[in-house]
Amino acid sequence: MIAFAQAAAEAPTWVGPLVAISLLLIALVYILIGIVVVIAARGTSKRVAAMQETLSDLRQDLDPALRSIKSVAEDGGAVAKTLRRESDELVDASRQIRRKLVTGSERIQERLEDMDALYEVVYDEVEESALGLAAGLRTARHGKALLAPVSRLIRRRRRRRKRR
């Protein structure tokens, strides 16, 4: 340490004032930096205050719009639920109609089969009756042919009686 003190004592006289001036300049630079920071902070705080005011105005302007959007969204949700419920009911109704149509077509098919069987029976009966009638007519014609001479005799006798 003594050597250091001796070296400091032997230093030139201009070093001390130069160090003091350097320290003063460094201090002034720090003060200047502080002033710039304070000025910048004031400008920033003014800008932040202006932005806060703008945001407040924007919030006031957007608040009714946001409420309206929220209301529309809620109404849209209600409409979507209603549409979903209605579409489910339509699907159920169409299923019921389809079931009824299938059941009805099956019943119609059964009735058509019954009608077909009935027509076959009626056709057979009509055919038998027609054949019976045709046979009866043939018999009547042949019988008439057999009875024709007898009929002529009876007619002649009647005519003779009338003339007398």
pLDDT for 157: 72
Query: Cα dihedral angle (94, 99, 100, 105), rounded to 10 degrees?
Result: 120
Q: Give 14's DSSP letter.
A: T
Q: In one letter, which amino acid is 64? A: P
pLDDT for 77: 87
- Rounded to 5°, angle at Cα 124 from 122 and 128: 115
**DSSP string spanning 85-137?**
HHHHHHHHHHHHHHHHHHHHHHHHHHHHHHHHHHHHHHHHHHHHHHHHHHHHH
pLDDT for 63: 87
Q: In one letter, which amino acid is 53? A: E
What are the boundaries of each domain within the chain?
Answer: 24-158
Q: In one letter, which amino acid is 6? A: Q
State residue 81 phi and psi, 5-degree precision: -65, -45
Q: What distance in Å separates the CA atoms of residue 110 and residue 103, rounded to the nearest whole number?
A: 11
Q: How many CB atoms lie within 10 A of CB 41?
A: 11
The list of the chain residues with pLDDT below 50 reads none
State pTM to two decimals: 0.40
Q: What is residue 1's three-state secondary structure? A: coil
Q: In one letter, which amino acid is 48? A: V
Residues 62-71 have pLDDT tens digits of: 888 888 888 8
pLDDT for 154: 76
Structural tokens at position 149: 């001479």
**DSSP string spanning 7-53?**
HHHTS-TTHHHHHHHHHHHHHHHHHHHHHHHHHHHHHHHHHHHHHHH
pLDDT for 12: 79
